[in-house]
């Protein structure tokens, strides 16, 4: 490549949704440690990257799409924004571009950028869930990027024979393992020790809240009818906080929940006894905290039909179930995600100590299988990126 060691290394990060924004932000300091002071950052993302001095010229909220039909409807917008993102990376003279999660968006960015800037090193951080659906995406990724940083060891066999270098850096949720202050929340909201605490987690996307609002709220209402002393905490992702609080002005069921800022997640997890959660990264966070849970999820009807008919290859939605190859966490998807089923499953956990303890132990076993051997995911990822750069310098 003929790189002058005195020239700055220019790294551009692309994050298309809230979880990816956090992953990208966590890379900044480890990358500085690896590359030294002679590194410059820019990117597209959200508040986590902004907090580290990387202000996005494209609002991350425009990039998030949930479901196949929704993706088709948003195709023109996403395609345009991907082109703009690639142009921003090119104008920045990026040496390395790190594409974090968000398969559809980041792949469009990669393809445009490869044409604009053939010499750039493209790193995909978090691979597509080829073990769940569309295994052909492994070959697509191999043709598009230079290196894959995967967070699951069981991803790697799907890339054998593709020629794509793969590094497993471990699950970031497990390597973070943030410890919260449950006593603080109990004191702040006068939650006595004998009261059970339920977490309600609506997800981090607007469409997730829109679809889960009714079944989750109604399920909690039914549960409180039989467990009137139950305390309900609702930590809100920054991406949906305004939306949920606005909905609460007209919904007394939401008004009975104690809303918490996303920064209080660890404290909420420290005090919780069980959870009703949107399927996603948070289920791994709950498992790490040892909190038994019930999971629900919905996407658009046509999107679900297409996914179920043509693409879905796994029996489970929750990663802890995938890792365990067993339904240790009850999952209620699509039409099954309704108040009666959700409240009944939560009631079983509240009222059946043996069932509660069985899930708690199974969650601990799943986390052991998913562990990253004590290494920080962000530092492992930064090391792999630095190695890639040195090998091509």
Residue 86 lies in a domain: yes
Residue 4 lies in a domain: no
- Looking at the fold, whether 363 and 288 belong to one and the same domain comes out as yes
| CB 101 within 8 Å of CB 15 | yes
| CA dist., res. 211 & res. 243, Å (int) | 13
Q: Which of 59, 49, 52, 60 is nearest to 17 (CA)?
A: 60
- Looking at the fold, whether 29 and 150 belong to one and the same domain comes out as yes
Residue 3 lies in a domain: no
Q: What tens-digit pLDDT sequence spans the chain (393 residues)?
A: 445 556 899 999 999 888 899 999 999 999 999 999 989 999 999 999 999 999 998 887 777 654 554 555 567 888 899 999 999 999 999 999 999 988 888 999 999 999 999 999 999 999 887 765 667 788 999 999 999 999 887 788 889 899 999 999 988 888 777 788 899 999 999 999 999 999 999 998 888 999 999 999 999 999 999 999 999 999 999 889 999 999 999 999 999 999 999 889 999 999 999 999 999 889 999 999 999 999 999 987 776 666 665 556 667 888 889 888 899 999 999 999 999 999 999 999 999 999 999 999 999 998 887 765 557 899 999 999 999 999 986
Residue 361 lies in a domain: yes
| CA dist., res. 124 & res. 108, Å (int) | 12
N-term to C-term CA, the chain: 5
- Looking at the fold, whether 105 and 215 belong to one and the same domain comes out as no
| CA dist., res. 197 & res. 234, Å (int) | 10
- Looking at the fold, whether 154 and 214 belong to one and the same domain comes out as no
Task: Render pLDDT for 364-384 as a digit per residue (tens, 0 to 9).
Answer: 998 887 765 557 899 999 999
- Looking at the fold, whether 80 and 166 belong to one and the same domain comes out as yes
Residue 176 lies in a domain: no
Q: Which of 86, 98, 104 is nearest to 27 (CA)?
A: 98
Sign of CA dihedral 89, 388, 50, 63: positive
Burial environment of residue 198 by CB neighbours within 10 A (0 to 12, 13 to 18, 19 or more)? buried
C-alpha distance from residue 267 to each of 19, 179, 262 (Å): 19, 7, 10
| CA dist., res. 263 & res. 343, Å (int) | 27
Residue 107 lies in a domain: yes
Domain tally, the chain: 2
Residue 1 lies in a domain: no
Going along the chain, which residue ranges are E strands? 9-15, 39-44, 96-100, 121-125, 147-150, 166-168, 197-201, 231-236, 258-261, 274-278, 293-297, 331-333
- Looking at the fold, whether 191 and 321 belong to one and the same domain comes out as yes
Q: b/e string for 304-337 if b means 16 or more Cβ within 10 A?
A: bebbeeeeeeeebbbbbbbbbeeebbbbbbbeeb
- Looking at the fold, whether 131 and 58 belong to one and the same domain comes out as yes
List the CATH number of the domain containing 249.
Answer: 3.40.50.2000
- Looking at the fold, whether 213 and 105 belong to one and the same domain comes out as no
- Looking at the fold, whether 198 and 252 belong to one and the same domain comes out as yes
- Looking at the fold, whether 273 and 379 belong to one and the same domain comes out as no
- Looking at the fold, whether 332 and 273 belong to one and the same domain comes out as yes
Residue 297 lies in a domain: yes
User: In terms of residue numbers, what domain contains 157?
Assistant: 9-170+373-392
- Looking at the fold, whether 211 and 280 belong to one and the same domain comes out as yes
pLDDT of residue 232: 98
Conformational region of residue 290, where left means phi above 0, alpha means psi within -120 to 50, and beta covers everything else: left
């Amino acid at each position: 490549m003929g790189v002058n060691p005195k020239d700055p290394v220019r790294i551009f990060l692309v994050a298309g949704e809230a979880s990816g924004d956090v992953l990208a932000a966590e890379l900044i300091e480890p990358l500085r440690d690896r590359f030294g002071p002679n590194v410059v950052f820019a990117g597209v993302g959200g508040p986590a990257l902004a907090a580290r001095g990387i202000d996005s010229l494209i609002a991350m909220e425009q990039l998030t799409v949930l479901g196949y039909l929704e993706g088709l409807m948003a195709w023109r917008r996403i395609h345009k924004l991907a082109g703009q993102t690639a142009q921003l990376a090119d104008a920045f003279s990026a040496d390395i571009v790190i594409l974090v999660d968000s398969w559809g968006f980041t792949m469009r960015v990669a393809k445009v950028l490869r044409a604009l800037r053939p010499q750039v090193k493209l790193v995909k951080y978090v691979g597509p869930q080829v073990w769940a659906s569309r295994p052909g995406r492994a070959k697509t990724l191999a043709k598009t990027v230079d290196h894959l940083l995967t967070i699951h060891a069981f991803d790697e066999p799907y890339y054998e024979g593709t020629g794509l270098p793969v590094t497993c850096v471990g699950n970031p949720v497990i390597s973070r393992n943030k410890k919260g202050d449950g006593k603080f929340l109990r004191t702040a909201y006068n939650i006595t020790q004998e009261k059970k605490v339920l977490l309600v987690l609506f997800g981090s996307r607007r469409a997730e809240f829109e679809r889960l609002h009714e079944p989750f709220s109604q399920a909690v209402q039914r549960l409180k009818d039989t467990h009137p002393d139950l305390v309900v905490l609702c930590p809100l992702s920054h991406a949906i906080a305004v939306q949920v609080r606005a909905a609460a002005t007209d919904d007394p069921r939401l008004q009975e929940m104690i809303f918490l800022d996303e920064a209080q997640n660890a404290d909420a997890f420290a005090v919780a006894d069980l959870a009703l959660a949107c399927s996603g990264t948070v289920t791994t966070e709950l498992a790490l905290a040892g909190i038994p849970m019930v999971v629900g999820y919905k996407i658009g009807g046509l999107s679900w039909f297409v996914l179920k008919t043509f693409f879905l290859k796994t029996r489970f939605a929750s990663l802890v179930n995938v890792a365990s190859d067993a339904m240790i966490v009850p999952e209620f998807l699509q039409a099954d995600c309704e108040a009666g089923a959700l409240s009944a499953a939560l009631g079983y956990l509240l009222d059946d100590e043996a069932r509660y303890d069985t899930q708690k132990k199974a969650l601990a076993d799943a986390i052991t299988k998913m562990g990253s051997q004590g290494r920080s995911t962000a530092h492992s990822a930064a090391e792999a990126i630095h190695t890639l750069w040195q090998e091509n310098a």
